[in-house]
Structure 1
Amino acid sequence: MDSHADAEKLSIRCPGCGQRFKVGLELRDRMVECGTCEHRFRVNDEVVVRAKKFYPGERRAAALDSFSRVPRNAAPSQSTFQTIQYAPEPVHRTIEPTSPLRLVLGFSAVLIAVIVILMLIFGGMPGGVLYGASQSKRLMLAVFSAVVSGVLLVAANPRARGRAVLAALLTAGGLISLPFFFTNGVTLASSGADIAEDAPAAGTPGKETERPKTAEEESVAALKRQVSYEPLARALETDPKAVGLWLRGLREFHRPQVRDYIIRNSGADPSSHMYPRSNEYLMVVTGFKGDIGDLARLCERFGEVHRPSDELRIIEVVVKNESFQEGALEKLTDPANPAFYELNKRELESIDLERARKAVNRLAPVEPKLYRKDIVKRMGELIQEGDFAIQFEIGKALPKWSEPGDGMEEVVLGVLEKLPADGEVAEPLVTFLAGRKDMAAVSLLDRLWLQEPNKWEENYGAFGQPVEDKVLSRLPQTTPVQRMSAVRLLGRVGTAKSVPVLEGAMKDANPEMKVLIQHALESIRGRK
């Protein structure tokens, strides 16, 4: 650091006294005063002290050994081995990660092609998305998908356009060729098959000219062509009682409601399927055990039925789409509105169970002022055709709407008895039977009580003294939970004949059971 500071200063000598000083470079050509003799002089070349130059070897100083020097007689070194020769470094390609956008485009191209290929292969089967579609429409789908997939492939591979175009062409060729190989379910309007079925070509060698068809035969042939009769013909080969519903004017979003309604009320096979036609649908109903007239009456709930044909097994239905429209909500929810009962009654008659369930929920808490018999009758029908949710809601509404003698006890009991052993039971329906004290339901309650004593104990006890004999007969073989429930039931409905049985059970009972038995005996004796 000192040597660096000295390099930026001038070494001068005072002309008066000869004293040496070091001054900064900024004092060059300026007047200075000697600090020893106070002589004033100008800093110029006359007072600057010059260091004497010397060459290496002229002075002996240890500090000079840090500088390198070349020996005077040193001979250049010569290597006796061959130096290595390196090849030029190769030029590497720039490696960059694939952008997310290109990945998405490539994945979308492959996904579109795969989905359309599967549709063209399997979509022509009965019930498939392309069943009934013409070959021209399938070709349009294939061409459009090929174009979209090709554009996405080329966009996803900007540095390999040649390979991307080749892959796009191969994909397009595969897609466009599929409609020619997979022709299942192709609609053949005025096809050779229809012509062969309806009228053989005139002048065919070896065949006599057939008689002209009657007007009725022409009408049947026209109807077959109009509804594309092939799915129903195949169904009739395996199920002679299959029926075709020609649904005219049915909107797309009402299809599930109509299908579920037909299957639910006719007992048909759940595999019954709707086949789309131009602005119409052909529903092939299989597994139907009733008469074609019964199915026609079911269709009257949502449309006008025309010309049911026993020969073709077809029912033509002009669908009333307005029947699927829900009423004004402010009128449906206001019991003070004059249209409240009428609109909710109309909702109960809807083929949509969800709308009917909401209507039951709205009617349950209000007083039955209008349409009581009609509404109760419709509730009885809904219990039989509905699911657990609507049965639960109807069970809550029946105590207020149903009147003794209207037959609802038999309807409810019949529905509950048809439930499977592991089926879900709507508790309000059981409560309704217990409230009416319908003795025909005692056996049902006894079975339910054995399965879940704590859940059905209250309803079982509501029947009163008639259940005493059944409970006493069950007591020896019951489980601990059932036995405790039986003791509580006997305390509620038991008579004098229950006293010795309870007193006999007191001996071997645990402390908790002894308390229950004691309370039951006190209740029985108190009623005496």
Structure 2
Amino acid sequence: MNQQIECPKCSKRFTVNDDLSGKTVECGACDHRFLVKEELIFVERPKVYPGEKIKRDDDFLSRLGRDLPASESNRKEQSLEVGGQPRVDAIMPAGAGQNIAVGAGISFLFLYAFIFSVGTSDGGIFQDMAREARYALGGFVCLVAGGLMLFGAKNWRGRAFLLLLTFGGALFALILVRPVHLTPEAVQVLTPKPGLDEPEADPIAEIKEKSGYKVVERNLKNLEDDFGGLASQHLVGIFIESLTSSQFHSIEKYFKIELKIPPTNAISRYLRNDRGKDSLIVVSGFPIDFDKVVQICDPRLGRATTYPDLRLIHLELSALHDSKVTDDLREKLSNPQHPSYFNENLNELRALDPLRRKDAVSELAEISPNVELRYGDEIIAEFIRLIRNETDDQLLSDLGRALLIWAQDNPVAVDVVSEKVEQLIKLDSNVPVSFIDFLVKANAEKAPLFIDTLWSIKPEVWTSQYIALGVSAEKRMIFHLNGPSIRITKAAASVLASIGTEMALQSLAKYQSSSDSELKALVARAIAAIKSR
């Protein structure tokens, strides 16, 4: 049997089955949940038409002459039937499965948006997908997500549809703004048969086709938004044939060091054929000196053919970077009497593998003085390059020892080592003793200043270097002798015992009556050593 109930919140009335009495229902108009109580149930009354008198069991009002007007009665009866005959499930609470469907639809949309954002970057899973295909896939995702949302939102499908339109629009906007990084496809060029009328090959067109130059053009177009007419100065392309993944990673590290690439910029690799070996490497996003890139590629990495107008380099990678250290090569690298000793070690200094470079520096730093040095200029140039770029303490120490043998009279090496020492001191990093020994032996102008700075921090480490300066350092040492630190005073007295002259006797005499027995003994030893000279 049906009965009418009224929502206590919005006053909407519904006709439902009487088995819902005492149960919680949900209003189909305002989503309000309420308990079906006795006072919310309306009893069916006979319909009254215009002009018809209302029949009552109780004749009391009629006898008083106050019959209810038929029009008012009719209006009340009609109000009971405004709501029609809704289904019972329209006001029942949503089930767990429907709530899960709504959540799954929304989650599916957001998950796909995240995967799409990551996958459309260089090397992502959507990199090679055309924009039309992306729109089709996005439409399918919206269709599936919308079906789930509309199925679960049984009482608020209108709002669910608006929500779907909002999220779907945002997804399609994301598809529109994300770039398309199509990997260039290798195109087979049909070579015409030779003949008298055969046109000469255009080298520019050939290298463009071979390297997949459209990638460079696309990157240049993107850079124009940020750099305008200077976009070409912020990009260089390097085309390398038969490049393995391990070689690429080594070259990537090498470029980052040599070009000092900012952390916010990346090196992109685009494969050029199905085998995935021929590669176009694009470096972009910051000012790049094309000539400098050529210099760091040739001859160290191999032979370079340059196309400055295209900002493109065709690099034929040296076989050295794919070779392994065999027993025969190891013999050449470790035997100074072998004819290929210097040449092979020079090649090792240019290797991309840091361990091989380190071994070569160590070998050349221990060469016997009676061995005639060869390839001096090339080897010193590699030493200087490594000093500028490397930070490994042991490698820097070996480089200092190597310079003592190879570059005592090289002013460029002196300037580079001086700059490196200044940089290490500013960074509060370890300064190799061999660097200071090299500067002292080369009579570098800044050597005394470096030694004084380092000695003031760690006198026990740098005392021998200060003594190596000789009498020229006596005035500075007297200054330290009269300093506020008892530790530095003791160290200064010890140094003056080796380099002091009569000039230092007066300053030393002040400490002969010191209460510190160790200082007193060091001063006495220094005075005796000076007088004996």
TM range (shorter): 0.5 to 0.7
Shift of 1:245: 2.0
| Conserved? CA contact 2:455–2:461, under 8 Å | yes
The equivalent of 1:122 in structure 2 is 118
Equivalence for 1:431: 437
Give the corresponding residue for 2:102: none
Counterpart mapping for 1:202-281 below 5 A: 226-227=214-215, 229-239=217-227, 240=230, 241-249=233-241, 250-279=243-272, 280-281=279-280
What are the residue-to-residue correspondences of 1:339-378 with 2, within 5 Å?
339-367=340-368, 368-373=371-376, 374-378=378-382
Shift of 1:122: 1.6
**CA distance 1:423–1:437, shift in 2 (3 Å):** same
Post-superposition shift, 1:499? 0.8
Q: Does residue 187 of the first structure (1) align with residue 181 of the second (2)?
A: yes
Shift of 1:182: 4.5
Aligned residues of 1:235 and 1:284 also touching (Cα < 8 A): no
- Check the 8 A contact 1:331/1:340 in 2, yes or no: no
Report if the CA contact (8 A) 1:409-1:438 is conserved. Answer: yes
Letter of the 2:431 partner, please give it: V
1:386 to 390, 393, 415: 390
Letter of the structure 2 residue corresponding to residue 416 of structure 1: V
SS at match of 1:271: coil
- Structure 1 residue matching 2:510: 3-state secondary structure: helix
Equivalent in the alignment of 1:293? 291
Question: 1:54-73 to 2 correspondence within 5 Å?
Answer: none
Q: Per-residue displacement from partner, 1:319-376 (whole Å, max 9, x unpaired)? A: 4152313453434443334333221111112344432211111222223434251323
Correspondence 1:397 to 2:402: yes
Q: CA deviation at 1:318?
A: 2.6
1:496 correspondence with 2:496: no
Contact 1:434/1:460 (8 A) holds in 2: no
Match of 2:129 among 107, 123, 134: 134
Q: Which runs of 5+ in 2 are unaligned?
A: 1-109, 142-170, 186-201, 273-278
Q: Which runs of 5+ in 1 are unaligned?
A: 1-113, 147-177, 192-214
1:116 Cα offset (Å): 9.3
Given the alignment, which residue of 488, 509, 517 partners 1:511? 517
RMSD: 4.0
CA gap 1:377/1:476 in 2 versus in 1, 3 angstroms: same
- C-alpha separation in 1, matches of 2:327 and 2:111: 46
Per the alignment, residue 324 of structure 1 pairs with 321
Q: 1:520 & 1:271 partners in 2: Cα distance?
A: 58
User: What amino acid is aligned across from residue 123 of structure 1 in structure 2?
Assistant: G
2:262 partner amino acid: D
Give the C-alpha shift of residue 443 in structure 1.
0.9
Q: Tell me, what secondary structure is at the counterpart of 2:239?
A: strand
Q: Deviations over 1:17-76 (max 9, x none)?
A: xxxxxxxxxxxxxxxxxxxxxxxxxxxxxxxxxxxxxxxxxxxxxxxxxxxxxxxxxxxx
Deviation of 1:506 after TM superposition, in Å, equals: 3.2
Deviates more, 1:265-274 or 1:455-464: 265-274
Does structure 2 retain, via aligned residues, the 8 Å contact 1:384–1:415? yes
Question: Conserved in 1, the CA contact under 8 Å of 2:184 and 2:215?
Answer: no
- Indicate how the Cα distance of structure 1 residues 188 and 385 shifts in structure 2: closer, same or farther if over 3 A, else same: closer
Query: Counterpart amino acid of 1:134?
Result: M
* TM-score when normalising by structure 2: 0.57
- What displacement does 1:118 show? 5.2
User: One-letter code of the match for 1:252?
Assistant: S
Q: How far does residue 517 in structure 1 lie from its aligned partner after superposition?
A: 1.1
Q: 1:217 to 1:254 in 2, by over 3 A?
A: closer
Q: 1:368-427: CA deviations, max 9, x gaps?
A: 434251323322232223223432221222333344457533332232223351233222
What is the CA–CA distance in structure 1 between the aligned matches of 2:253 and 2:476, rounded to whole Å? 42
Distance 2:524 2:365 in 1: 42
Give how far 1:470 is off: 1.3
Counterparts in 2 of 1:330 and 1:219: CA distance versus 1, 3 Å: closer
Q: Residues 452-478 of structure 1, C-alpha deviation per residue, up to 9 Å, x if partnerless?
A: 222222222211111111122233334
Q: 1:466/1:322 Cα in 2 relative to 1: closer, same or farther (>3 Å)? A: same
| Alpha-carbon distance in structure 1 between the residues aligned to 2:111 and 2:430 | 41
Q: Relative to 1, partners in 2 of residues 1:341 and 1:282: Cα closer, same or farther, differing over 3 Å?
A: closer
**Which whole-Å deviations, capped at 9, do the CAs of 1:474-500 have from their partners, x for residues lacking one?**
333342222221111111111111110
Distance 1:269 1:287 in 2: 8
Deviation at 1:435, TM superposition (A): 4.1
Query: Are the structure 2 counterparts of residues 326 and 221 from structure 1 closer, same or farther at C-alpha, using a change threshold of 3 Å?
Result: closer
CA deviations 1:58-117 (Å, max 9, x no partner) are: xxxxxxxxxxxxxxxxxxxxxxxxxxxxxxxxxxxxxxxxxxxxxxxxxxxxxxxx9998
Distance 1:449 1:288, change over 3 A: farther
CA separation of 1:304 and 1:181: change in aligned 2, threshold 3 A: same
Name the CA distance, whole Å, in 2 between partners of 1:400 and 1:486: 31
**How far apart are the structure 2 equivalents of 1:424 and 1:441?**
16
Matching residue's letter, 1:357: K
Distance 1:302 1:228 in 2: 22
For 2:424, give the aligned amino acid. L
Identical aligned residues as a percent: 19
Aligned partner letter, 2:116: L
What TM-score results when the alignment is normalised by the length of structure 1?
Answer: 0.58
| Cα distance in 2 for residues equivalent to 1:128 and 1:188 | 10
- CA distance in structure 1 between the aligned counterparts of 2:432 and 2:251, rounded to whole angstroms: 26
- 2:212 touches 2:280 (CA, 8 Å); kept in 1? no
Corresponding residue for 1:338?
339
Q: Is the 8 A contact 2:440 2:469 kept in 1?
A: yes
- Are the counterparts in 2 of residues 236 and 242 from structure 1 also a CA contact under 8 Å? no
**CA pair 186-286 structure 1, distance change in 2 beyond 3 A:** closer
Q: Write the letter of the residue equivalent to 1:246.
A: I
Q: Distance in 1 between matches of 2:506 and 2:401?
A: 40
Q: Distance in 2 between matches of 1:221 and 1:340?
A: 41
- 8 Å CA contact 2:349–2:357 kept in 1: the answer is yes
Of 393, 408, 412, which residue of structure 1 is paired with 2:417?
Answer: 412
Helix, strand or coil: the match of 1:284? Answer: strand
**Contact (CA 8 Å) 1:465, 1:493: kept in 2 or not?**
yes
Is the Cα–Cα contact under 8 Å of residues 134 and 186 in structure 1 kept in the other structure? yes
The question of whether the paired residues in 2 share the 8 Å contact of 1:120 and 1:179 is answered with no
Match for residue 477 of structure 1?
Answer: 483
